[in-house]
Chains A and B, each alone.
Chain A
C-alpha cells in the first residue's frame, strides 16, 4: 500500500522542495479533479453528439436519455415475458446455482487433488486436457443433453465456475507448509486437529480467491449461455433488444449486466477480509 502511494507521487515531489506530505495530497486532489473531468467530458460528449446535435443515428448510439428511459420502462413494464426484475432473477438463479454447485464439488475435488497423489494422478489428466476448451463451447453439447432450458445454462455456468475452484483449492492445499504440519503432529495433534487448525487456515485464503474468481467466470459465461439458449434473463434481453433493433434497451441491459458484475466483485472483496482475516495481502491466482 505504501509502495503504490509513493510510486504514484514519485514524479511531483522530486521537483518541488516542499514537505513530503504536501505534494502527495496535492497530487491526490489533482487526480480526483482529472478523473471527474474525464467522466463529465465523456458524458457530455455522448449527450451532445446524440441528443443535441444528432451526429450519430440512434441506431448506432442511442442518447443517454433514451437509455435511461428504456431502462425505466423495462423495469416497470414487462418486456418479452417479464420485467427487468424477472430477467435479473432468472440470470441470478442460474449464476448463483451453478456457482454454489461448483464450490460444493470443485473445492473438495481440488483439495483432494492437492493432498493426495493418487487423486491428483487420476483427476489431473482429465482436468488438464479439458481445460483449454472454453466453457461456453460446451453449450451446444449441453443443449443436446439437457434441451434448451435451465439445465444447459446451469451446466455451462457450473463448468466455468468449477475451474478456478479446483485450481485454487489444489494450489492452496499444496502450499501448506509441511513443517507446520509436522510441528503440529509433533506437538500431539491428531489428524482432525491438524486439518482444522493448520491445513484449513493456511489453504483457505487461496481457496477463497478461487471462489471469488469463479463467480466472475460464472457471470461472464452465463451471459454467453443466455445469448445462445434462453427465453429469459439478461443475456436473452440483450439478444432480443438487438433483434428488435432497440439499441437503447441493449445499452440499458449492458449497463445492468455491468452493474451486477461490479456488485458481485465488490461483495466478494467485502467478504474476503471477513472470512479469511488472517491473510494480510490478498493474492490473485
Chain B
C-alpha cells in the first residue's frame, strides 16, 4: 500500500513538470506560427504597425550588445529587476510580520485595518505621480510603486495564515509543554507557510506589473521605459521585443516561485494552497 502510494506520487511529480513544459512549448510554437503568418507570412499587418518574429529576434540579439535609450537590453533588465527586488523585499519584510501581528493582537488589527482598507482602493499606478514628486524619477520612486502593489497580498495572506491555524493544534502544543517560541516554529510556521508563500507569489506578479506601468510614466531606464521609447521612435520591433522580455521574466517568476514553493512545502501531500 505505502509502496504503491509513493510510486504513484513520484510518477506524477515527474510527469507534471514534463507535461507543463510540453504544453508551454506547444503553445509557444502555435503562437509564433500565428504571429509569423499575420506579419511575414501573408502580410496582414505592415512593419510600421507590428513586428514579425524574425525582426524581433534580430532586434533582441542586437539589443544585447548595442545600447538603446542609454542602456543595452541587459542594462534595462537589471534596472527593472533591481527596482522590483527592492520594492518586493520591503513589502515582504513589512507586510508579513505586520499581517501576523494583526492576526495575533486584536488592538493592532483594529488600528491598522481602517487605514489599510482605505488606502487599498487607490490603484498602485495612481501612486506613480506622487512617488515621482517625492523621490524624483529614481530607483526608489519605482520601488515605492512596486511596494504599494506587493504589500497588500503579503499582509492579507500572512493575516489569513495565522488566523487559519487550528486552535486545537496550538492548545495541543501548549499542553505538550511547548513554549511560545516552539509553538511558532512547530505549529504556526508549518501550517501557515503555504498561505504566506501564495501571498508572496501574488505580490511578485502584482509588483512586476506595477513596475512596468511605473516605468512607462517616469523612468530613464528599464523595460517599461524601453517600450515607451520604442513607441516614440516608431519602432514596433523594439516595443514587441521588450514586451517579449517582460512576458518571459513574468512567466519565469511564476514558474520559479511555484518550484520553490513545492520544494519548501515538500512535507505536504496536497498541491498548493492558493487562496487569494
Residues of A within 8 A of B (CB): 4, 7-8, 10-11, 27, 30-32, 34-35, 37-39, 42, 59-60, 124-126, 128-130, 132-141, 143-145, 219-221, 223-224, 227-228, 235, 238-239, 241-242, 245, 247, 250-251, 253-254, 257-259, 261-262, 265, 284
Q: Which residues of A contact B212 (CB under 8 A)?
A: 134, 136-137
Supposing A129-B28, A133-B243, A137-B243 touch, asked if A34 and B216 sit within 8 A by C-beta, the answer is no
Q: How far is the CB of A275 from chain B (nearest CB, A)?
A: 22
CA distance A227 to B110 in the complex (A): 35
CA distance A110 to B234 in the complex (A): 34
Q: Which residues of B contact A130 (CB under 8 A)?
A: 31, 247
Once the chains bind, are B111 and A34 in contact (CB under 8 Å)?
yes
* Chain B stretch 108-137: residues in CB contact (< 8 A) with chain A: 109-115, 118-119, 121-130, 132-134
Q: Which residues of B contact A134 (CB under 8 A)?
A: 208-209, 212-213, 246, 250
User: With an 8 A cutoff between CB atoms, is B10 at the interface?
Assistant: no
Residue from A141, A242, A258 in contact with B129 in the complex, judged by beta carbons closer than 8 Å: A242
Chain B residue at minimal CB-CB distance from A134: B209
Once the chains bind, are A141 and B115 in contact (CB under 8 Å)?
no
Once the chains bind, are A259 and B121 in contact (CB under 8 Å)?
yes
Q: Which of B68-76, B81-89, B222-230, B261-269 lies at the interface with chain A?
A: B222-230
Supposing A10-B167, A133-B247 touch, asked if A223 and B24 sit within 8 A by C-beta, the answer is no
Q: Which residues of A contact B230 (CB under 8 A)?
A: 140
Supposing A7-B163, A133-B246, A219-B123 touch, asked if A125 and B30 sit within 8 A by C-beta, the answer is yes
Chain B residue at minimal CB-CB distance from A124: B27
Once the chains bind, are A8 and B106 in contact (CB under 8 Å)?
yes
Q: How far is the CB of B130 from chain A (nearest CB, A)?
A: 6
User: With an 8 A cutoff between CB atoms, is B256 at the interface?
Assistant: no
Q: Which residues of A contact B167 (CB under 8 A)?
A: 7, 10
Q: Which residues of A contact B122 (CB under 8 A)?
A: 254, 257-258, 261
Residue from B31, B125, B240 in contact with A224 in the complex, judged by beta carbons closer than 8 Å: B125
Q: Which residues of B contact A140 (CB under 8 A)?
A: 216, 227-228, 230-231, 239
User: With an 8 A cutoff between CB atoms, is B194 at the interface?
Assistant: no
Interface-centre pick from B106, B124, B125, B217 (highest chain A CB count, 10 A): B125
Q: How far is the CB of A257 from chain B (nearest CB, A)?
A: 5
Q: Which residues of B contact A227 (CB under 8 A)?
A: 125, 128-129, 213, 216-217
Once the chains bind, are A238 and B228 in contact (CB under 8 Å)?
no
* Contact sample, A vs B, 20 pairs, CB 8 Å cutoff: A11-B106, A31-B106, A35-B113, A125-B23, A125-B28, A126-B27, A126-B30, A126-B34, A130-B247, A133-B250, A136-B125, A137-B243, A137-B246, A139-B216, A140-B228, A144-B239, A245-B133, A250-B129, A254-B126, A261-B123
Once the chains bind, are B26 and A125 in contact (CB under 8 Å)?
yes
Q: How far is the CB of B188 from chain A (nearest CB, A)?
A: 14
CA distance A145 to B231 in the complex (A): 10
User: With an 8 A cutoff between CB atoms, is B107 at the interface?
Assistant: yes
Once the chains bind, are B126 and A38 in contact (CB under 8 Å)?
no
Once the chains bind, are A27 and B123 in contact (CB under 8 Å)?
no
Supposing A125-B26, A254-B122, A259-B121 touch, asked if A31 and B110 sit within 8 A by C-beta, the answer is yes
Once the chains bind, are B126 and A242 in contact (CB under 8 Å)?
no
Q: Which residues of B contact A124 (CB under 8 A)?
A: 27
Q: Which residues of B contact A262 (CB under 8 A)?
A: 121
Once the chains bind, are B216 and A257 in contact (CB under 8 Å)?
no
Chain B residue at minimal CB-CB distance from A243: B129
* Chain B stretch 16-54: residues in CB contact (< 8 A) with chain A: 23-24, 26-28, 30-31, 34, 48-50
User: With an 8 A cutoff between CB atoms, is B99 at the interface?
Assistant: no
Once the chains bind, are B125 and A141 in contact (CB under 8 Å)?
no
Residue from A35, A60, A220 in contact with B134 in the complex, judged by beta carbons closer than 8 Å: A60
Once the chains bind, are B107 and A141 in contact (CB under 8 Å)?
no
CA distance A37 to B112 in the complex (A): 11
Chain A residue at minimal CB-CB distance from B228: A140
Residue from A10, A42, A239 in contact with B115 in the complex, judged by beta carbons closer than 8 Å: A42
Once the chains bind, are B234 and A136 in contact (CB under 8 Å)?
no
Supposing A125-B26, A129-B247, A141-B243 touch, asked if A136 and B231 sit within 8 A by C-beta, the answer is no
User: With an 8 A cutoff between CB atoms, is B169 at the interface?
Assistant: no
Residue from B31, B110, B133 in contact with A126 in the complex, judged by beta carbons closer than 8 Å: B31
Q: Which residues of A contact B128 (CB under 8 A)?
A: 224, 227, 238
Q: Which residues of B contact A136 (CB under 8 A)?
A: 125, 209, 212-213, 216
Q: Which residues of A contact B236 (CB under 8 A)?
A: 141, 144
Residue from B28, B111, B275, B276 in contact with A38 in the complex, judged by beta carbons closer than 8 Å: B111
CA distance A35 to B114 in the complex (A): 7
Q: Which residues of B contact A254 (CB under 8 A)?
A: 122, 126-127, 130
Q: How far is the CB of A44 from chain B (nearest CB, A)?
A: 13
CA distance A44 to B4 in the complex (A): 66
User: With an 8 A cutoff between CB atoms, is B251 at the interface?
Assistant: yes
User: With an 8 A cutoff between CB atoms, is B254 at the interface?
Assistant: yes
| 18 further contact pairs, Cβ within 8 A, besides A27-B106, A247-B133 | A10-B167, A30-B110, A31-B109, A38-B112, A129-B28, A132-B247, A133-B247, A136-B212, A137-B216, A137-B246, A220-B123, A220-B124, A224-B213, A224-B217, A235-B126, A242-B132, A254-B127, A261-B122
